[in-house]
Structure 1
Amino acid sequence: MEDRASKKDDIVESLENGCHESYMTPWATVIAMFALYLIALLWFCRHGKKVCLPSPDSIYPYKRRLKYLKTVLDHLLVDDMFIELTDSKLGQGAVGFVFKGYVFPKTQTRFKQKTFAAVKMSYPMPQKSIGLLEEAARMAKLNHPNIVKIIAVSKLSFTAFRPMFAMEWLPGGSLAEFFRDEIRRKDERERKTVYVREIVHVLRQVGEALKYIHESRDHEGNEFTHGDVAARNVLLTNRNLDTCVAKLGDFGLPIDFGPRLPIPWLPPEIVCSLDRSPKHRPESDVWMFGVLGWECATLGAEPHFQRTFEEIQQSFGLPDRGLHCPPNCSMEFWSFLMDCLSEQHRRPRFSGLTDTATSAIYRLRQLETIYAHSNSKFNMVLNVSNCTCSQHRCNIPLPPFTIR
């Protein structure tokens, strides 16, 4: 009897131990997985941001410059959540993309007070990223009614080295888009009539912006320049050229473009320079302003259309610099453009006094007075290729720069 009782007790004890172990095994697994999750979370919090950064070797040359740029842009830095991108891509340039987006104010009702913005973000390359931050720093130092204002800069520009900043939204689009949409893509009956007084009104505002830029100085005392004066970078508040406000945007430097230099707009002192990184001076902006005036007089034609690099260099020696005088273009307007396209030391200046014939602003104001009540208008000029190259490479033109 005692043997049976002891065997019964052993069976009960073994069952109880088995139940206890089977009960504890799932909980032990859950606790172990939770501990691993906490360890992984702690590691990600410490090292997660470093995953987004380029390799230390590629970022090292820019560390000192990044520190300075962060100081300049500190008052514009916002969290990433305050800048929102949409699927609407406005353009693609040498250093990044431009999207339509929104900027939210730092208030409790921010989702009801969002404002439209043009959001620019760089390619994931250190040189392009630093180029975009340099552009943001240049824009942040300028405050003029005819210059596009920068609204906010994402903190990710420095924590993850993926620059992104928001600029004010101008619903009229660029001047190049106006010529393309309202004139060049429409039938003759539907095209808008563009008067000379409207073009002079826009050019005078761009000239005022350049005057302000050329009279400004950076922290080292060097004069500012724009670097890419063209119709694609003249933005409009609306598409009525007679009343709109024109603003100059996209402050690029020739070094930012890499292999995609806007050769047809650049002056001979840069195109023909033997230096690897020629210096862009205010006189270079004046030349580009002359090419902008030619774009306006032709209602959006492409300068040096389908010409090779060598042909553009040769055209600098021609009396009209390879940009033929458009039909119905008045001699007063054409004479001003030719002065802008003259030798470097002969070009009019935007900076300085505005009551002399050497002042570009003075000349523009004269043109405004001449055409204030005139019905003179410009006619559209088609892009025509006058290919003279022996290799017949006219089917492989220079990279287009109609949208940036």
Structure 2
Amino acid sequence: MTSPAQTTTCSAAYMTPWFTVAVMFALYILILMWFCKNGKKICMPTPDNIWPYEKRLKQLKRELSHLLLEDMFIELCDHKLGQGSVGFVFKGFVYPNTQNRYKHKTPAAVKMSYPLPAKSMGLLEEAARLARLSHPNIVKLLAVSQLSFSALRPMLVIEWLPGGSLGEYFRVNCRNPGDDAIVYVRDVVRLLQQVAAALQYLHEKRDADGSELTHRDVAARNVLLTSTDLTKCEAKLGDFGLPIDFGNHLPLPWLPPEIVGCATSHDPKARTRHRPEADVWMFGVLAWECATLGAEPHYQRSVREMCDAMNTPDRGLPCPPNCPTIFYDFIQSCLSEPHRRPSFIAPLDSSSSVLFRLKQLEYFFTNSQHCFEAVPNESCCTCATHRCSRSRM
């Protein structure tokens, strides 16, 4: 039998300093391994209540899995390009996942959502729609940040178009005193043809649930240019999928009367779905923006005044002074009743086709030197608070 003295000696052997160091080192290794695996999740900001969106988030993550990219491969610059209903747009870069990635960075536009679950989901829904589209006149989605799902703060990487937006071009080059940029009708028609081709492709497709696919925010601010030379540049349609129930952020001056009247109604059953005919109306407003070189439709009109103006013969968008009659007739056809508007998917040899009408305009203005003139924004309001009596370019 083992004596008590021997038992005490054996037990004390386990309490040597070397054993303590070994145990502490092993615990340190285990903690380090656990932190390397889960530490990033711990450092992530905890999003607000995302429980209502968890099921849809899993679906979106599966749909966008081929575009997910680690945050370290996306760089944001301080230069803010714009701000929309769901977030900000910054100039940035995207790096390929290679050893010499820093030598092959690609300029990009990075969209980041506001820190609100509803806004984040709106941006992810836009990414899902954009990921299913592939057309030369539609901006391309390059990547989606992993942070979009781990912290519900989406970042979308979209191809960079150095020409900026068409609305910005008008504002910078045409609407300031001393600007001498000449915008020919033939160049505007060519850009509108490219936007119409993108909308034709869009309207021919179906959404994930089989419903009609529409853009919902056709405007000069969402027509992006490959360069600032309108005679050679290409136009691409961007900013897809603005939700129709985003409240005060709805682009009411561009929307048709069947939606403006319902959007301002307090009855939830009165909401009207955005159909392809609404995109045609917005395309007509875009053409009017081009004819005025960037004037704001329904400038400083209240919703009531806007609805009243839409019931007048010119729909509240009068013919610009230097706009050809044939061009304004096309605008008016897009601003007619829903069943009378031309369509993007009608047969190309029919007068009910938007592309056919634009082809006629292209033929008419091919060798024409006719150009548009900037029309100032004018308001009948005389309130002292806003100083609305002053016209604004």
- Shift of the 393–225 alpha-carbon distance from structure 1 to 2, 3 Å rule, reads farther
1:174 maps to 2:165: yes
1:306 pairs with 2:304:
no
- Residue 230 of structure 2 aligns to which amino acid in structure 1? L
| 2:251 paired residue number | 262
Q: Deviations over 1:282-334 (max 9, x none)?
A: 11111110110110000011111111111001111100011111012111100
Matched, 1:153 2:147: no
Q: Work out which of the residue numbers 353, 358, 364 in structure 2 matches 1:364.
A: 358
**DSSP-derived class of the 2:174 partner:** helix
Cα distance, 1:132 vs structure 2: 0.2
Q: Are the aligned partners of 1:307 and 1:394 in contact in 2 as well (CA < 8 Å)?
A: no
- Displacement of 1:146 in angstroms is 0.4
Opposite residue 104 of structure 1, the aligned amino acid is Y
Query: Contact 2:216–2:244 at 8 Å: present in 1 too?
Result: no
Alpha carbons of 1:220 and 1:383: their partners in 2 closer, same or farther (altered >3 Å)?
Answer: same
**SS of equivalent to 2:50:** helix
**CA-CA distance at 1:259 after TM superposition:** 1.9
One-letter identity of the residue aligned with 1:81: M
Q: 1:49 aligns with which of 13, 30, 41?
A: 41
**Equivalent residue of 1:89, what SS?**
strand
Structure 2 equivalent of residue 3 of structure 1 = none
Distance 1:380 1:176, change over 3 A: same
| TM-aligned CA distance change 1:114 to 1:220, over 3 Å | same
* Correspondence for 1:139: 130
The separation in 1 between residues aligned to 2:346 and 2:327, in whole angstroms, is 22
Q: Kindly tell me: are residues 337 and 113 of structure 1, through their superposed partners in 2, closer, same or farther at Cα, counting changes over 3 Å?
A: same
The code of the aligned residue for 2:297 comes to P
From 202, 212, 223, the counterpart of 2:201: 212
Q: Does 1:380 align with 2:357?
A: no
Rate the CA distance shift 1:256–1:161 in 2: closer, same or farther, 3 A: farther
5+ long unaligned stretches in structure 2: 1-16
1:251 pairs, out of 220, 235, 240, with 240
Q: Say whether residues 1:201 and 2:201 are aligned partners.
A: no
Between the two proteins, the alignment pairs up a number of residues equal to: 364
TM-score by length of 1: 0.84
User: Structure 1's 243 and 344: CA in aligned 2 closer, same or farther, altered over 3 A?
Assistant: same
- Structure number, greater radius of gyration: 1
- Kindly provide the CA deviation profile for residues 169-201 of structure 1, in whole angstroms up to 9, marking residues without a partner as x: 0000000110011111241xx421111001101
Q: Does 1:69 align with 2:60?
A: yes
Q: Is the 8 A contact 1:84 1:103 kept in 2?
A: yes
| Cα distance in 2, alignment partners of residues 245 and 257 from structure 1 | 30
2:55 partner SS: helix
CA distance in 1, matches of 2:385, 2:363: 42
Listed as ranges, the matches of 1:13-24 within 5 Å are none
Where does 1:2-401 land on structure 2 (aligned, <5 Å)? 42=34, 46=38, 49=41, 52-55=45-48, 58-187=49-178, 190-255=179-244, 257-273=246-262, 274=265, 276=268, 277-387=271-381, 392=383, 395=386
SS of the residue corresponding to residue 381 of structure 1 reads: coil
Cα deviation 1:104-131 (Å, max 9, x = unaligned) = 0111111000010000010111000000
Q: Which has the higher contact order (CA 8 A, sep 6+)?
A: 1
- CA displacement at 1:396 relative to structure 2: 9.1
Q: Using the aligned pairs only, state the percent identity.
A: 57
Per-residue deviation, 1:93: 0.7
AA partner of residue 106 (structure 1) = N
1 CA distance for matches of 2:260 and 2:214?
A: 17
Q: Are the structure 2 counterparts of residues 224 and 373 from structure 1 closer, same or farther at C-alpha, using a change threshold of 3 Å?
A: same
Distance in 2 of aligned mates of 1:119 and 1:228: 19
Contact between 2:122 and 2:243, CA under 8 Å: does it hold in 1?
no
Q: Is the CA contact (8 Å cut-off) linking 2:226 and 2:235 kept in structure 1?
A: yes
Distance 1:64 1:346 in 2: 41
Work out the CA distance in 2 between the residues paired with 1:161 and 1:182: 39
- Superposition CA RMSD, Å: 2.6
**Alpha-carbon distance between aligned partners in 1 of 2:52 and 2:288, rounded to the nearest angstrom:** 41
Unaligned runs of 5+ in 1: 1-23
Q: 8 Å contact 2:346–2:352 — kept in the other structure?
A: no
Contact 1:146-1:248 within 8 A present in 2 as well: yes
Q: Distance in 1 between matches of 2:206 and 2:163?
A: 30
Structure 2 length-normalised TM: 0.86
The 2-side partners of 1:146 and 1:264 are apart by: 24
